[in-house]
Amino acid sequence: LSNVNTATKPFLGFTSIVPESVPVAETLMGGQMGSENDQLHIFFFPLMAPGHMIPMIDMAKLFAIRGCKSTLITTPHDEPTFLKSIAKTKDSGFDIDVVTVTLPLKEVGLPEDCDNLSKVTTVEIRKQFMRATMMLDRQLELLIEKLAPNCLISDMFLPWTTEIAAKYEIPRLTFHGTGAFSFAGTVCVRLYEPHKKVSCDSEPFIIPNFPGEITMSRMQLPDLFREETDFIEFYNKVKESEERSFGVIMNSFYELEPYADHYRTFLRIRSWFVGPLS
């Protein structure tokens, strides 16, 4: 992550694609940087699914090794897995821990053992599960009040956490498990809707304002662009929440995909590339 252009700013050793005038670390610390006793305390809140939890755990360990206090949030069922994953880092003297929240599964009509997306078998159950995650707001508030983090890094599929972070005047950063290419391309398709300007599903179109003249057809797009579903409404909330967040953290690295620059020059989204994570 060291061979980057001069338009980037470092944040705890990671590459940040942000405007030069933004004092990133100082902003996260509320302007209190400078003392040797300062320690940035970050909450890490992944979606309850293996593909989301594993890279978030890796990231929390990376931040702890760089001198931050890392607190991971999970459910009681997954807590043993989290504790096992961070054991070596914690035993090495780094400041990392796990706290729990309990999904209100009964309130949304799900069995008590359906506390991870890996156990979800139907679209309807997935909707109920995501509704349960939205009901964790008060539990997150209590954790923030008790532990006073400086920053919240939460999964993109927990969009309601932006409002919680704003309430307590701490920055929320959105975590993406995918890289800049797919995410930036998705944003451009969402903004300009080129798929609605072709005559059939097989007719190619170029993604507007996206480097490389990438050509696609409607047949290659995810369902959320091709048909009206409940997920489209949720996805729009995800994007709106992300736009109000302090920035984005991605499981990628700058040398792998120069599309990182697209965030700074066009999308104007603060972004840090901390991959490759698991």
Catalytically active residues, by annotation = 52, 155
Q: Pairing state of beta strands 172-176 and 247-250?
A: parallel
How far is CA 1 from each of CA 9, 86, 136, 243, rounded to the nearest angstrom? 11, 24, 35, 25
Q: Which strands form 14-17's sheet, in the order they lie side by side?
A: 9-11, 14-17, 271-273, 247-250, 172-176, 151-155, 41-45, 69-74, 96-100
Query: With contact defined as beta carbons under 8 Å apart, do 201 and 218 qualify?
Result: yes
Query: With contact defined as beta carbons under 8 Å apart, do 139 and 170 qualify?
Result: no
- Total residue count of the chain as it appears in this document: 278
Q: Taking the mean position of all CA atoms in its chain, how far away is CA 10?
A: 19
Residue entry with tokens 């080129």? 194
Residue entry with tokens 């072709």? 198
* Separation between Cα atoms, residue 254 and residue 196, nearest integer Å: 32
Q: Pairing state of beta strands 151-155 and 247-250?
A: unpaired
Nearest to 241 by CA among 147, 160, 123, 150: 160
What does the block give as tokens for 190?
């969402």
* Separation between Cα atoms, residue 98 and residue 201, nearest integer Å: 47
